[in-house]
Chains A and B, each alone.
Chain A
Amino acid sequence: MATAAPRPMSAEEKKVIFASSLGTVFEWYDFYLYGSLAAIIAKQFFSGLDEGSAFIFALLAFAAGFIVRPFGALVFGRLGDMIGRKYTFLVTILIMGLSTFIVGVLPNYASIGVAAPVILIALRMLQGLALGGEYGGAATYVAEHAPHGKRGAYTAWIQTTATLGLFLSLMVILGTRTAIGEDAFADWGWRIPFIVSILLLGVSVYIRLSMNESPAFTKMKAEGKTSKAPLSESFGQWKNLKIVILALIGLTAGQAVVWYSGQFYALFFLTQALKVDGPTANVMVAISLIIGTPFFIVFGALSDKIGRKPIILAGCFLAAVTYFPVFTALTKAANPDLAAAQAAAKVTVTADPAECSFQFNPTGTKKFTSSCDIAKQKLASASVSYDNIIAPAGTPAVIKVGETEVLTVVTPEDIATAKDGAEKKLAELNAAEPQDAKAIAAATARVKALSGEKTAKDAVLSGKLSAALKAAGYPAKADMAKFDKTTVVIILTYLVLLVTMVYGPIAAMLVEMFPTRIRYTSMSLPYHIGNGWFGGLLPTTAFAIVAQTGNMYNGLWYPIIIAGATVVIGGLFIKETKDVDIYAND
């Protein structure tokens, strides 16, 4: 296959990339808005629900992300292969944008009752459906406009939009919060970021309306070769279904876990496992994203030269072999006291195995209440590594920190003693001059927790365990004087670079794996299953593994195994696609 002579990007191609990327910026903006404003949205829309209704809404919210998106990939992928890319992803952005905007003007539970959460969930479902069609449309549209030999470089621009969407959401949320104050933001100001999205929608629709249909689809339509049934062609014929399955296991599954580990699990690990304060961890991650983001383009362009497969699989391979040493180094750089305590103090959980569950809870609806589960949950949350010892059947779990035993069974006397102590401490803090507002707030919260019927036992156990861990040298927070910022940024940047290796060339590769007539449908599904299911389940699976095994690094086995499987399956069965003529099989 002869390659096209190198030429600069034309104005039309720049417009194509810009229009497509704006849609994906929108996706990411929305993704981060919901993450950042989750607590406020829950308070506005779900706080008045009874337990049963809340359970159903939790399942529906879960479905919006995990089931509706791949379903949207099928619905809009089919449309895109039948009526064209341009009109389909015009529809997806309209649905997505209007749903986001309407959330901003939707009355809350206090105003219209249960209709508020019902409408909110319906809007989330619509968004999920549209999101399922958006990425595949953008990737296909850009790749079909790109000259041969440049598809990697051109489609890589779409991949940079995650960082842009994150920064845009940060600027709008933090800017609004600072301008109007915390209270007003929680009351009504949270609506502004959703309403502001109408501007992004207006620009996106205006530009997309002026775009032409992709040349590949136009040619195919002119020849009367468009698919009449893209779904049955994609998934009903083994020769295509086989490639869809391979694209999922041999590419997107590994890409997704590497991406989630680098961008989300690293942040979670810093704040939750290493006890670094949120603002510092956010700035560290943001710096590493700024350094790493241009490498999406670098690896996309490099994949046009040396191939997509070696870069994506090298990223997965490096992740699989370096995650353990890299995350261990992150602990030493961010919280050396924790690393020292883990090495010095032996902690055990003695429990009846029948009481211990695998704490996998993707919908957030399960409650783990046995003494073993509570003990493990508390230790895993405190980043304590522990050994499991089998106890006779029916014995309540016991935590042992060094020589100190912490019983998980809490008696009314324990609660009364703890409450007396907490009230005395609060009185002392109130009497002290000058007053320490933070300490008073913490002491007040503890007294409140010890007074509550449902929360008292948990508060007593937490208090006892905290005291035992403190005595054994476990820090409650990372000591910022010992926090090595440079090393942390270097490590996080390395993790982001792995993300850029796997994610930069993936859109071009997925596009090149399928013929034009079923491309939109066939590439969207493995992308959304890979990223939504394999990637989206990473945090909850990793936590369950940590709680089960008692080692805070063991959660890494999940991305390591998935990325390793992708290296093997992708290496053996996926063919290089950079030289594929995407018109060849039309």
Chain B
Amino acid sequence: MGTAPAYRAGAVDKALFTGAFFIKKGMCMWKIAVGFAVFAGVALFILSKGGDIDMSGEKHGDTTHTEAPAAPTASKATSAP
């Protein structure tokens, strides 16, 4: 019986410490998640309002494509960074 309060206090401390750790760790992730959601939301809003834009990245051969007759879009190779 005599050790119970100390045990309980230790358990509470441990739980609080663990909780605080996870909250702190979680908060960091939450900040990133919320930041990403807000950023993505703004981008999506602008995209839905702004409309037509090529999202397929850098393509090659574009220097001549302004004059190329009937050049299919797919023939432009895309190169990743």
Residues on A close to B: CB < 8 A? 8-9, 24, 27-28, 30-32, 34-36, 38-39, 41-43, 45-47, 49, 51, 54-55, 57-58, 61-62, 64-66, 69, 117, 131, 134-135, 163-164, 166-168, 170-171, 173-175, 177-178, 256, 259-260, 264, 267-268, 272, 278-279, 282-283, 285-287, 290, 293-294, 359, 361-365, 367, 374, 377-378, 380-381, 454-455, 458, 531-532, 535-540, 542-544, 546-547, 555
Chain A interface helix/strand/loop/mixed: helix
Residues on B close to A: CB < 8 A? 21, 24-25, 28, 33, 36-37, 39-40, 42-44, 46-81
Bound state CA distance, A475 and B3, in angstroms? Answer: 81
What 6 A-B pairs are tightest by C-beta distance, nearest first? Answer: A364-B61, A543-B74, A65-B79, A174-B50, A167-B43, A27-B81
Q: Is the CB of B77 within 8 A of A362?
A: yes
Selected contact of B57 from candidates A64, A264, A283, A380, CB within 8 Å: A264
Q: Is the CB of B54 within 8 A of A364?
A: no
Q: Is the CB of A536 within 8 A of B43?
A: no
- Decide: A32 near B74, CB < 8 A? Known: A42-B66, A46-B63: no
Selected contact of A175 from candidates B46, B70, B80, CB within 8 Å: B46
Name the CB-closest residue of A to B25. A8
Q: Is the CB of A539 within 8 A of B78?
A: yes
Bound state CA distance, A467 and B24, in angstroms? Answer: 65
Residues on B with C-beta less than 8 A from A378 are 70
Q: Is the CB of B62 within 8 A of A30?
A: no
4 further interface pairs, Cβ-Cβ under 8 Å (given A31-B57, A279-B48, A364-B65):
A174-B47, A175-B50, A282-B52, A543-B75
B39 to A: closest C-beta gap in Å: 6
Q: Is the CB of A535 within 8 A of B46?
A: no
Q: Is the CB of A279 within 8 A of B51?
A: yes
Bound state CA distance, A178 and B72, in angstroms? Answer: 29
Q: List 9 A-B contacts (CB under 8 A).
A: A31-B58, A58-B62, A66-B79, A117-B63, A164-B39, A259-B80, A282-B47, A294-B36, A361-B61
Bound state CA distance, A47 and B74, in angstroms? Answer: 22
Bound state CA distance, A46 and B61, in angstroms? Answer: 11
A44 to B: closest C-beta gap in Å: 11
Residues on B with C-beta less than 8 A from A8 are 21, 24-25, 28
Q: Is the CB of B50 within 8 A of A58?
A: no
Residues on B with C-beta less than 8 A from A175 are 46, 50
Residues on A with C-beta less than 8 A from B40 are 163, 167, 286, 290, 293
Selected contact of A362 from candidates B36, B60, B65, CB within 8 Å: B60
Q: Is the CB of B56 within 8 A of A364?
A: no
Residues on A with C-beta less than 8 A from B44 are 283, 286-287, 290
Q: Is the CB of B79 within 8 A of A532?
A: yes
Bound state CA distance, A267 and B78, in angstroms? Answer: 13
Most chain B C-beta atoms within 10 Å of own C-beta, residue among A9, A539, A555: A539
A18 to B: closest C-beta gap in Å: 11
Name the CB-closest residue of B to A279. B51
Residues on A with C-beta less than 8 A from B73 are 268, 272
Q: Is the CB of B60 within 8 A of A47?
A: no
Q: Is the CB of A458 within 8 A of B78?
A: no
Q: Is the CB of A57 within 8 A of B53?
A: no
Most chain A C-beta atoms within 10 Å of own C-beta, residue among B28, B70, B77: B77
Bound state CA distance, A4 and B41, in angstroms? Answer: 38
Name the CB-closest residue of A to B79. A65
Q: Is the CB of A365 within 8 A of B64?
A: yes
Q: Is the CB of A42 within 8 A of B81?
A: no
Q: Is the CB of A282 within 8 A of B61?
A: no
Bound state CA distance, A264 and B33, in angstroms? Answer: 25
Name the CB-closest residue of A to B22. A8
Bound state CA distance, A215 and B77, in angstroms? Answer: 39
Name the CB-closest residue of A to B33. A294
B20 to A: closest C-beta gap in Å: 12
Selected contact of B81 from candidates A61, A134, A458, CB within 8 Å: A134
Name the CB-closest residue of A to B81. A27
Selected contact of A58 from candidates B58, B60, B74, B79, CB within 8 Å: B60
Residues on A with C-beta less than 8 A from B65 are 38, 42, 364
Q: Is the CB of B75 within 8 A of A361?
A: yes
